């Protein structure tokens, strides 16, 4: 490995380290929030069990209602305690990751549908009309250019060759097919009089 390759590797690691540190701090922050949420849920569940017991003592809840309420609060307590463990934090992070993926997919779908909406409504129609106008203008210009060339060619075909302003001496004899055995001096250029 050369010094240049080592330098490139060190630069790449240095640039990537900042991103890895940011990801690590985000993950630690999420873990702290999940553990805090777990503590709050465990406390809420435990408080709910106590409230259910007291409500039963005062006659606000029957024995069967208290059992159902306390069972629900026990589930909340267990859920809160589970979220405080490292396994619970890992599960919460996977759920968060899945929720972010769903949100990203939904946002992409909305972006695509918004683009389709724009393409099929006013903006898209305006682009189609502008493209059609440009193609019509180009086709019209090409038709005019073709007509002009055709007109020039037809006019040039009707014009006799002896009306050109400069002719070679003996050119009329060459065009009629009779090339006499004249001298080379007869082929010098001269103007038409």
Q: Is position 69 within any domain?
A: yes
Residue 29 has pLDDT above 50, yes or no: yes
Q: Are 53 and 15 in contact (CB under 8 A)?
A: no
Rounded to an integer, what distance in angstroms lies between the CA atom of residue 49 and that of residue 66? Answer: 9
Going by pLDDT thresholds of 50, 70 and 90, the confidence category of residue 4 is: low
Give the count of alpha carbons within 13 A of 178, CB side only.
4
Identify the residue whose tokens are 């949420």. Answer: 37
Size of the chain, expressed as the number of residues it contains: 193
* Residue 126 pLDDT grade (very low, low, confident, very high; cuts 50, 70, 90): confident
Q: Is residue 184's pLDDT more than 60? A: no
What mean pLDDT value characterizes the chain? 77
Position 110 confidence tier, pLDDT thresholds 50, 70, 90: confident
Give tens-digit pLDDT for 53-92.
999 999 888 999 999 999 999 999 998 888 888 888 888 8
Range of the domain at 79: 3-103
| Residue 77 maps to a domain | yes
Structure tokens of 126?
């305006």
When pLDDT is cut at 50, 70 and 90, the band that residue 193 belongs to is very low
Lowest mean pLDDT among 75-84, 106-115, 131-140: 106-115
When comparing pLDDT for 175 and 110, which is higher?
A: 110
CA angle 52, 57, 60 (to 5 degrees): 65
Q: Is residue 150 part of a domain?
A: no
Task: State how far the alpha carbon of 137 is from the alpha carbons of 68, 89, 127, 146, 151, in Å.
Answer: 79, 66, 15, 14, 21
Whether 41 is in a domain gets the answer: yes
In a domain, 155, yes or no: no
Looking up tokens 């240049």 gives 4
Give the angle subtended at the CA of 174 by the CAs of 162 and 184, to the nearest 5°.
Answer: 110
Is 50 exceeded by the pLDDT of residue 178? no
Q: Tell me whether residue 20 is in a domain.
A: yes
The answer to whether residues 62 and 97 touch, using CB atoms and an 8 Å cutoff, is no
DSSP class of 121: S
Is the per-residue pLDDT at 191 higher than 70? no
pLDDT for res 18: 73
As a whole number of angstroms, the distance between CA 89 and CA 31 comes to 6
How far, in Å, CA of 19 to CA of 26, rounded? 10
Contact 90, 38 (CB under 8 A): no
Asked whether residue 85 is assigned to any structural domain, the reply reads: yes
Q: Residue 171: inside a domain, yes or no? A: no
Contact between 49 and 41 under an 8 Å Cβ cutoff? The reply is: no
Domain count, the chain: 1
Residue with the bigger pLDDT between 111 and 31: it is 31
pTM of the complete model? 0.43
Q: Which residue has the higher pLDDT, 176 or 161?
A: 161
């Amino acid at each position: 490995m050369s010094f240049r390759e080592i330098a490139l590797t060190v630069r790449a690691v240095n640039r990537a380290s900042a991103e890895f540190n940011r990801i690590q701090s985000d993950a630690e922050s999420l873990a702290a929030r999940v553990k805090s949420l777990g503590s709050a849920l465990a406390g809420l569940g435990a408080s709910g069990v106590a409230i259910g017991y007291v409500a039963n003592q005062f006659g606000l809840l029957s024995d069967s209602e208290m059992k159902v309420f306390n069972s629900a609060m026990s589930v909340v307590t267990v859920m809160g305690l589970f979220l405080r463990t490292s396994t619970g934090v890992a599960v919460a992070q996977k759920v968060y990751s899945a929720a972010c993926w769903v949100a990203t997919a939904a946002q992409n779908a909305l972006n695509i549908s918004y683009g389709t909406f724009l393409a099929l409504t006013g903006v898209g129609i305006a682009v189609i009309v502008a493209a059609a106008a440009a193609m019509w203008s180009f086709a019209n210009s090409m038709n005019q250019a073709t007509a002009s060339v055709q007109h020039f060619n037809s006019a040039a075909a009707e014009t006799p060759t002896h009306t050109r302003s400069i002719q070679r001496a003996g050119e009329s004899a060459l065009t009629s097919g009779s090339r006499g055995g004249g001298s080379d001096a007869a082929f010098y250029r001269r103007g038409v009089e």
